[in-house]
Amino acid sequence: MFRGRGAGQGRGRMGGFGAGPGGQCKCPACGYTMPHQPGVPCYQMTCPKCGAKMIRI
């Protein structure tokens, strides 16, 4: 068995941080905000007002 000497500072799969279930999604184009839906990343959602991709805040 391998025993590493790392400090356990990894960021998880695909380099993400995992912001948790709460929070808001915001449109960077028009500023519209909506509650984050657990299991659906904000960047996969589109703004209902202007159609831009949302970001997590």
Q: Where are the domains of the chain?
A: 21-57
- Which tokens hold the place of 49? 């007002």
User: Is the per-residue pLDDT at 43 higher than 50?
Assistant: yes
Residue 20: its pLDDT value, please? 62
Tell me what percent of the residues of the chain surpass a pLDDT of 70: 63
5-24 pLDDT, tens digit each: 655 555 545 455 555 668 99
Residue 22: its pLDDT value, please? 80
- Which tokens hold the place of 20? 């948790």
Q: Which residues pair with 11 in a beta bridge?
A: none
